[in-house]
């Protein structure tokens, strides 16, 4: 029930925050305002944060599932 909401929020944030910033950095590197190293660092940080986010989600998954289970038992 909450998965579509979480995915929707993530999609909106990616489209409004991450993508424009990445496009701006890439465009500046193509025009020579920034170095190619900035683009490489950006890609590395994007990949690293995606990996860390996935790992954090795995750590939080079982405790969150337990909390949802307990709340559901209280309601029902």
C-alpha angle 22-3-42 in degrees, rounded to nearest 5: 15
Q: How far apart are the first and last CA of the chain?
A: 17
Domain ranges of the chain: 3-75
pTM over 0.75: no
Q: In the chain, pLDDT over 90 holds for what percent of residues?
A: 82
Instruction: Indicate if the pLDDT at residue 75 is higher than 80.
Output: yes
34: CB partners within 8 A, 6+ apart: 25, 28
Cα gap 10→31, rounded to integer Å: 30
**Mean pLDDT, rounded, of the chain:** 93
């Amino acid at each position: 029930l909450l998965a579509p909401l979480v995915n929707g929020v993530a999609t909106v944030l990616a489209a409004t925050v991450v993508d424009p910033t990445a496009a701006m950095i890439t465009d500046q590197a193509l025009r020579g305002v920034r170095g190619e190293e900035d683009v490489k660092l950006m890609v590395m940080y994007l990949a690293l944060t995606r990996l860390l986010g996935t790992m954090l989600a795995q750590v939080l998954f079982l405790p969150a599932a337990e909390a949802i289970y307990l709340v559901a038992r209280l309601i029902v």
